[in-house]
Amino acid sequence: MKLTKKQMIITGSVAGLLAVGGITFGVVNHNNTVHAQQVAEQKAADKKEADRKAEKVLENKAKTALLKAEQEDTSKNISDAKTAVESVKNKKIKETGLKEIDAINARVKLENEAKAAVQVFQKAADDSSKNKAAHAAVDKLTNSYSKKLKDSLNKQISASEAQAKAASQAKAAADAKAKSDAVAQAKASEAAKANTAAQSQDDVSQSQNQATAGNDTSNYVSNGAVNQGTASANYGSANAGSSNTASGGSSNNTGGGTSSAGNATSGGTNSNNSTGKGPSNSQQGNTVADQDQNSINAGNSSNKFPGGW
């Protein structure tokens, strides 16, 4: 079948339109693809930047929390710092931050041990071993952030040492005084004992002297009685057995009679009981001494006569 000229023109026009449309579609489609890719890339870049900025914020937050924990190592600050560090995405920064947390915890442990050692020493400041332990614990605080606490603890140790020294000096003085007082008391006690012993000895001597005086008195009375009886007997015997005259002659009557003696000087006579039992009643009232004296006088009188008694 032959196409007419008119049909051929219409067919060619349609084909041309189809060709042009296809080309246009291809160009538009390509442009759309390129734009989509560009948008995706931009979004990725934006996200990456946002993530980078967010990471930077986390890192800064972690650093701030770590610094706060270093300066004020409370349990809360350390916990907050650990949480902040663990939120960081950067592996290297996270590891470094966690190591700092461990160092802070170790430092806090040493600080707590030093505080405890100082407190123990303060309760027993005179204990040299606790003193050494406190110094050793405080000396371990080498971190610069522990300097303030270290200075404070050293001042507390010095204050306790001063108190212990003052207490020791006071105790030494008290002990010395107590020892001195004990010595003085012992001397006073010894002196009191010596005085008591001397007084007891004086009492014993006085008692002995009183006993001796009593014995002397008893002996005197006893001896006086004996002497009185002896003298009386001798006197009675002498008078009963003899009669002296002025001429020196004598006559003795024994059978119960009387004996008369004549005294030339007085012319008187003495009468005695011829029994020889003792002096007459007029002589019994005399004392022993008087009777002895009478005997002596009688003897002296007899010596005055030429022939004696």
How confident is the model at residue 4, as a pLDDT?
Answer: 67
How confident is the model at residue 207, as a pLDDT?
Answer: 75
| Cβ count within 10 A of residue 133 | 18
Note down pLDDT in tens along the chain; length 309 residues. 555 666 666 666 656 555 555 566 565 666 778 778 888 888 888 888 898 899 999 999 999 999 999 999 899 999 999 999 999 999 999 999 999 999 999 999 999 999 999 999 999 998 999 999 999 999 999 999 999 999 999 999 999 999 999 988 898 899 999 999 999 988 888 888 888 888 877 777 777 777 776 665 555 545 554 455 554 444 444 444 444 433 333 333 333 333 333 333 333 334 344 344 444 444 444 444 555 555 555 554 444 444 444
How confident is the model at residue 252, as a pLDDT?
Answer: 38
How confident is the model at residue 197, as a pLDDT?
Answer: 82
- Burial category of 263 from C-beta neighbours within 10 Å (exposed 0-12, middle 13-18, buried 19 and up): middle
Instruction: Return the domain boundaries, the chain.
Output: 54-170
Which helix (H) or strand (E) element contains residue 146?
A: none
How confident is the model at residue 136, as a pLDDT?
Answer: 97
Decide: 114 and 137 in contact? Cβ < 8 Å.
yes
Closest to 248 measured CA to CA, from 235, 261, 238 = 261
Please, what is the average pLDDT of the chain?
Answer: 73
- Separation CA 150–CA 142 (nearest Å): 9
How confident is the model at residue 276, as a pLDDT?
Answer: 41
- Separation CA 234–CA 238 (nearest Å): 6
- Burial category of 47 from C-beta neighbours within 10 Å (exposed 0-12, middle 13-18, buried 19 and up): exposed
Closest to 103 measured CA to CA, from 136, 78, 134 = 78
In sign, the C-alpha dihedral spanning 134, 137, 142, 147 is negative
Decide: 259 and 242 in contact? Cβ < 8 Å.
yes
- Separation CA 10–CA 288 (nearest Å): 215
- Separation CA 30–CA 99 (nearest Å): 54
Start-end of H helices in the chain: 5-71, 75-86, 91-123, 128-139, 147-240, 288-303
